[in-house]
Chain A
Amino acid sequence: MYTQALNNADTDDRNIEDAERSAQFQARIDVDDRIEPNDWMPAAYRKTLTRQISQHAHSEIVGMLPEGNWITRAPSLRRKAALLAKVQDECGHGLYLYAAAETLGTSREELVDMMLAGKSRYSSIFNYPTLTWADIGAVGWLVDGAAIMNQIPLCRCSYGPYARAMIRVCKEESFHQRQGFEIMMTLARGSEDQKAMAQGALDRWWWPVLMMFGPPDKASQHSDTSTKWKIKRFSNDELRQKFVDATVPQAQFLGLTIPDPGMKQNADGNWEYSAIDWDEFNQVLAGNGPCNRERLAARRKAHDDGAWVREAASAYAEKRRQRSALQAAE
């Protein structure tokens, strides 16, 4: 049970750092114990996880926008139904993750407000536009493929609620990647124009997807403590390499060309990719990607337009509560 009420009991000492308790905490992590919401944890562990899980949740919610863009223009009823189900799943994933983040003591409302105020990030990948139908294929195949690569190790993360949310998310995510690959395959086997559309989408998404795994290991600021706490089980570069190795044969199967002429397979069988343009990544993180302003504006509008629904639901619940209190008094 992850009630906020229960968590309030230890608010007095939850932010105090304590060497003895920290050592006990690390010892639990070292034997692969799961940390649960009401257990003692270092303030920095709580803060790191609140940041990571809430950003993960925001990413699921903002991630609905580039795909939602094509629901009304999907080429067939089958594709439309699948895309709608996928976007609904992303919403569900966001909600599981907000629920996991809340167990650390910050309410969902506060977390959402931070994202709307631009104080909390979401994945940089969702600041790229979905220009053609093929982009929906590429997003499912590559973006969800990369997300799965990231999320599978998180199923064994030291924080119980996050690990449990990830297990659920990963089960649902595999349909997303397969539906994306199927879209790409259909286009790649279609007319010359359709094949060119698929290639164009791969060209646009390949590098941003490699950036999804985060900065190279030598530059990542969060990795060391996250590894010690078993929040992170593999480094950014390790996951990126796994993704590339899994994806190259899939692109070959599709008959599409990865937009990296310098790419070659080394003696170990790993595909070596060319240098990633980290300036582009930093620009997108700084708010200067192709769609940053549009995404945030769309989220703010949806939140503001929904205010009356939240108010009406609260007012109705309050009216019912008062009525039943009156009846009880009679």
Chain B
Amino acid sequence: MATPNVPLWEVFIRSRNGLAHKHVGSLHATDTTLALQAARDIYTRRGEGLSIWVVPSNAITASDPAEKGMMFEPAESKIYRHPTFYDVPDEVGHM
């Protein structure tokens, strides 16, 4: 008999250094309690984090890779959004 499928979760961990939660991988679990415990066992065996989020994979809405050109084009052409676009004379020092 084929083994029945168990729901998939995405795991996010916040490390010690105060950075935001970061995606670290996926796992299978039947409910939130087991998902958190499995995330602890699979992704934090060496003190990788101080906080875990588990999110059902099918609850995530993602951008379509086929449309990434259109999606991100507006940011490509706006170099004036970057500090290096502006000329500041060297004598002014660090700004």
Contact = CB atoms under 8 A, between A and B. Distances in A.
Interface residues of B, number: 27
A36 B65 contact: yes
Interface string B1-21: 011111010100000000000
Contacts of B4: 109, 310, 314
A16 interface: no
B50 interface: no
Contacts, number: 75
Interface string A214-254: 00000000000000000000000000000000000000000
Contacts of A320: 31
Interface string A88-102: 110010011001001
Contact of B2 (A5, A38, A109, A168): A109
B88 interface: no
Contact of B10 (A1, A95, A107, A109): A1
Contact of A92 (B31, B42, B57): B42
B79 interface: no
B84 interface: no
Contacts of A3: 8, 10, 57-58, 60, 62
Nearest to B55: A1
B8 A313 contact: no
Contact of A99 (B5, B25, B46): B25
Nearest to A110: B2
A113 interface: yes
Contacts of B58: 3-5
Chain A contact-residue range equals 35 or more
Contacts of A2: 10, 26, 57
B45 A113 contact: no
B45 A5 contact: no
B2 to A, nearest CB: 6
Contacts of A110: 2
A218 B33 CA distance: 51
A99 B26 contact: yes
B30 A313 contact: yes
B30 A314 contact: yes
A1 B60 contact: yes
B15 to A, nearest CB: 14
Interface of A: 1-6, 36, 38-40, 85, 88-89, 92, 95-96, 99, 102, 107-110, 112-113, 164-165, 168, 172, 303, 310, 313-314, 316-317, 320
Given A3-B10, A40-B66, A99-B25, 19 more contacts: A3-B8, A4-B58, A5-B58, A6-B62, A38-B62, A38-B65, A88-B41, A92-B41, A92-B42, A95-B27, A99-B26, A102-B26, A108-B28, A164-B25, A310-B6, A313-B29, A313-B31, A316-B31, A317-B30
